[in-house]
Amino acid sequence: MAIGMSREHHTISKVSRRRFVESIAFAGVVSRFSRILQATELDSPAVLRGDHFSLMIDSLPVDFTGRRARATAINGTLPGPILHWREGETVTLSVTNRLPQEASIHWHGIRSPAGMDGVPGLSFRGIAPGETFVYRFPVRQNGTYWYHSHSRFQEQTGVYGSLIIEPRDKDPIEYDCDYVVLLSDWTDENPDTVYGNLRKQSAYYNYHERTVGTFVSDVKKKGLRATISDRLAWGRTNMSPTDIADVSSATYTYLLNGKAPSANWTALFEPGQRVRLRFINGSAMTIFDVRVPGLEMTVVQADGNAVQPVNVDEFRIGVAETYDVVVQPRTDSAYTIFAQAEDRGGYSRGTLAPKMGMTAEVPPMDPRPIRTMGRMNMKGMAMGGTAMGGMAGHDVAAMKSMNMHDMSAMPNMHSTPPRDETLGKEPFPQPGPNTARLMPTADVPDVPPEAATAAMKPMHVGPELVMPAMRGTAQLDKPGDGLNGNGRRVLTYSDLRALYPGVDGRPPSRSIELHLTGNMERFIWGFDAYKFSQAEPIYLKLGERVRFVLINDTMMEHPIHLHGLWSELENEHGEFAPYKHSIIVKPGERVSYLVSADTPGRWAYHCHLLYHMAAGMFRTVIVS
Domain with 112, as residue range(s), is 5-173
Here the CATH number for the domain that contains residue 451 is 2.60.40.420
Element (H, E) at 593: strand 590-596
Please count the other Cβ atoms lying within 10 Å of the Cβ belonging to residue 2. 21
Domain assignment present for residue 425? The answer is yes
Cis peptide before 429 (omega within 30 of 0): no
Q: Is residue 567 part of a domain?
A: yes
Mean pLDDT of 519-537: 88
Structural domain includes residue 571: yes
Higher pLDDT, 22 or 583: 583
Provide CB contacts within 8 A for 196, sequence distance 6+.
none
Give one DSSP letter per residue of 494-530, joined into a string.
Answer: GG--BSS--SB-PPPSEEEEEEEEEETTTTEEEETTB
**Which residue among 132, 149, 173 closes a domain?**
173
At position 295, the amino acid (one-letter code) is L
> In this structure, which amino acid lies at residue 67?
R
CA dihedral 121, 71, 12, 350 (to 10 degrees): 110
Average pLDDT over every residue of 38-52: 70
Quick one: pLDDT at residue 79? 97
- pLDDT band per the 50, 70, 90 thresholds, residue 309: very high
Residue 324 located in a structural domain:
no
Question: Which residues have CB under 8 Å from 104's CB, separation 6+?
Answer: 118, 119, 120, 124, 126, 127, 149, 150, 151, 154
Amino acid letter for position 229 = S
Q: What pLDDT band is residue 319 in, cutting at 50, 70 and 90?
A: very high
| pLDDT surpassing 70 at residue 470 | no
Distance CA 526, CA 535 (A): 9
Residue at 440 is within a domain = yes
Q: Going along 285-444, which residue ranges are E strands?
A: 288-291, 297-302, 305-312, 315-317, 322-327, 335-341, 347-353
Residue 232 parent element (H or E): helix 224-237
End residue of a domain, out of 149, 173, 197? 173
pLDDT at residue 235, rounded to an integer: 54
Amino acid at position 235, single letter: G
Lowest-confidence segment of 37-46, 100-109, 587-596 by average pLDDT: 37-46
According to the model, what pLDDT value does residue 328 have? 97
Instruction: Answer with the one of 173, 201, 223 that is the final residue of a domain.
Output: 173
pLDDT digits (tens, 9 = 90+) for 437-458: 887 765 555 555 545 444 455 6
Q: Which of 262-276, 299-313, 431-445, 590-604 has the lowest mean pLDDT?
A: 431-445
The answer to whether the CB of 158 falls within 8 A of the CB of 149 is: no
Higher pLDDT, 487 or 26: 487
Q: How many domains does the chain have?
A: 2
Buried b / exposed e over 145-164, threshold 16 CB at 10 Å, is bbbbbbbbbbbbbbbbbbbb
Q: What global pTM score does this model have?
A: 0.83
- Measured CA to CA, the distance from residue 516 to residue 253 in angstroms comes to 28
- What pLDDT does residue 522 have? 87
The answer to whether residue 521 sits within a structural domain is: yes
> Residue 550: which pLDDT band, with cuts at 50, 70 and 90?
very high
Percent of residues, the chain, with pLDDT higher than 90: 67
Q: What is the pLDDT of residue 43?
A: 54
- 138-151: average pLDDT: 97
pLDDT tens-digit profile of 279-297? Answer: 999 999 999 999 999 999 9
Helix spans in 439-512 (H) = 451-454
Report angle CA 481, 482, 484 to the nearest 5 degrees.
75
Mean pLDDT over 254-278 rounds to 96
49-58, 415-424, 466-475: the lowest-pLDDT one = 415-424
Residue 514 pLDDT > 90: yes
